[in-house]
Structure 1
């Protein structure tokens, strides 16, 4: 994978100093000693934090490097930065430019550095009051027919939840979920965990791959697709209000039901945060109400009760893929914080919502 020495070589080879001067309107230099690798992913992508400076200040820059062959997620993210940024720039870091011919066939993207939310604050439920209105505004931009205003921007590169390919993936995952449930029942350490809900889940899986048509009927837009706290950055989170939020890591973006983002943002975090469990009902009700009220401000209402939509989407997401992922993980000998929560919620919410 790329190294700091290679970045310095390419910086000089492509005269990126001059490009930054054009973009920023000032004379800058790369600080060779402040090149930091933030993430290295299986020799396919890497994320770096660079520091450039002029005579007055130092400016942090994010460099994301994609090595070929590009998979679909990489293509989606590159196009989000190249094309969708024109429409969704309010919710994304500033893209300085994309260099598509580094080392012949690598893509290097230079992006504004926005400080991660995590590290600035310890997230507590009241912080959702700052985050959720931004998410609602983001969804409203391309909600249902509104996306057609930008047809020239969002082409075949953007995955669509209703597409045949994604439907095929869901069917394949459900088939594999049944298989891995059976394997879990044969594993002495897992059988005790899975057995109480095994018959119920096998019964529910027969109703897939779409368990709740209401999720689609209540509206779709471009969603982030992986909207957890690690992918939220903010210039001023230490202030009590008016956060300047930017979303990062757009590899999972797609045109899909809006409530998928709320599930990851709210419900999955509740699952992880054991200190929130005693107040879980209050937290999710507040977040759902806040999101619905914010969407109303953009002329969008939901036909189905929003709290039910959150629960439906949680079960849809879990049954179509996440349960399978965590069964596999545990059968490989890895730990899963979420498996028990998934099984419990499929059973309790499945009955509440009429799945069995």
Structure 2
């Protein structure tokens, strides 16, 4: 694990004070007494909050340390900042400096410190209308053929929905889901919940691993992949104006996927978690989908199928290929899942609505 002394030593060794001063066009100094560790694990990444001063003002900077051996998702995020940053910079924290080969080939990255929405405001459905324009603009940059213009910015670490690896992973997920479904029927804590939908889900799983080719045909692009509220930042969230300056952090889950996968996380999973929204969920869902459709239309992007159905299909595809299995397994191992009941209910209701059974 990295230490405070390690941070200060490397700051001096690599002369980051001068490098950042050049990048910021003003002389800055590290306030050593204000260094704060946000996350520090032996095997994953280490994240620190540094505070710089120019003599008058102070401003925070995030230091993210990627440790060896670098995992694919870490290499992916590094590549997003090294190469893809040139087209995605308006959606990302400002990159101040990226230093490879620190402490035996660790990569240290210094970026702007942005404030996540979580903790700033109590999120309401109306706030999603202020986030969706940024998501649509971000998707439109690499939507379908436009991705080819920028494909040189991405390496082999970028997952593709229809790659051999993802096809294999999806098939494995189907197999595990079937096995966990059988175990759930024998488990006293799960049988009552699973039994009413057991036959339905078994029948549906036989149709996999791709349940809805339509979500592929509706268009793929680079998606964030983990678009929950912790990873959405806004500096003017408390202002009354409708235009938010939205940025996204934590790019480790970026992938070339159907665009609706991001909407599933942003909208549908938020509804699943927010019981206070569920009485109005049809209205909230429809408004968000309509807002996204209208924003995409500004970039000349249309959908051949009802976008509301595309969101539902992406949700079921994502659930059936991975999430159902993992949440069944979590409960089988003695844990709790706040989403399993919702997953099962939606598989039953939307599965029938969308002709899965």
TM over 0.5: yes
Gaps in structure 2 of 5+ consecutive residues: none
| 1:90 pairs with 2:90 | yes
For residue 239 of structure 1, report the CA deviation from its aligned partner. 1.1
Which residue of the partner structure matches residue 352 of structure 2? 351
For residue 151 of structure 1, report the CA deviation from its aligned partner. 2.8
- Per-residue CA deviation, residues 14-71 of structure 1 (Å, 9 max, x unaligned), is 1111111111111111111211222345631121111011111111101111111111
Which residues of 2 match residues 99-178 of structure 1 at below 5 A? Answer: 99-178=99-178
Which residues of 2 match residues 47-86 of structure 1 at below 5 A? Answer: 47-86=47-86
Which residues of 2 match residues 7-26 of structure 1 at below 5 A? Answer: 7-26=7-26
If the length of structure 2 is used for normalisation, what is the TM-score? Answer: 0.98
Structure 2 SS opposite 1:116:
coil
Aligned residues between the structures: 356
Distance 1:237 1:21 in 2: 29
Instruction: Say whether the 8 Å CA contact 2:73–2:157 is kept in structure 1.
Output: no
Is the alpha carbon distance of 1:284 and 1:177 closer, same or farther for their aligned partners in structure 2, counting shifts above 3 Å? same
For residue 293 of structure 1, report the CA deviation from its aligned partner. 0.6
Distance 1:11 1:160 in 2: 37
- CA RMSD between the two structures: 1.0
- Per-residue CA deviation, residues 124-148 of structure 1 (Å, 9 max, x unaligned), is 0010121001100000000000111
Gaps in structure 1 of 5+ consecutive residues: none
Is the alpha carbon distance of 1:235 and 1:107 closer, same or farther for their aligned partners in structure 2, counting shifts above 3 Å? same
Instruction: Say whether the 8 Å CA contact 2:225–2:254 is kept in structure 1.
Output: yes
Q: Does 137-146 or 242-251 show the bigger shift? A: 242-251
If the length of structure 1 is used for normalisation, what is the TM-score? Answer: 0.98
| 1:309 pairs with 2:306 | no
Question: Structure 1: which 4+ aligned runs deviate by more than 3 Å?
Answer: none
Q: Does 4-13 or 137-146 show the bigger shift? A: 4-13
For residue 157 of structure 1, report the CA deviation from its aligned partner. 2.9
Which residue of the partner structure matches residue 216 of structure 2? 216
Distance 2:172 2:151 in 1: 31
Distance 1:37 1:298 in 2: 41
Which residue of the partner structure matches residue 322 of structure 2? 321
Distance 2:98 2:290 in 1: 39
Q: Does 40-49 or 331-340 show the bigger shift? A: 40-49
Distance 2:269 2:23 in 1: 39
Q: Does 215-224 or 12-21 show the bigger shift? A: 12-21
Distance 1:307 1:40 in 2: 41
Distance 1:83 1:141 in 2: 15
For residue 96 of structure 1, report the CA deviation from its aligned partner. 1.1
Is the alpha carbon distance of 1:258 and 1:41 closer, same or farther for their aligned partners in structure 2, counting shifts above 3 Å? farther
Distance 1:274 1:31 in 2: 43
- Per-residue CA deviation, residues 112-170 of structure 1 (Å, 9 max, x unaligned), is 11111111111100101210011000000000001111132123232111101111000
Distance 1:218 1:72 in 2: 28
Distance 2:84 2:117 in 1: 23
For residue 75 of structure 1, report the CA deviation from its aligned partner. 1.0
| 1:232 pairs with 2:242 | no
Distance 1:290 1:314 in 2: 18
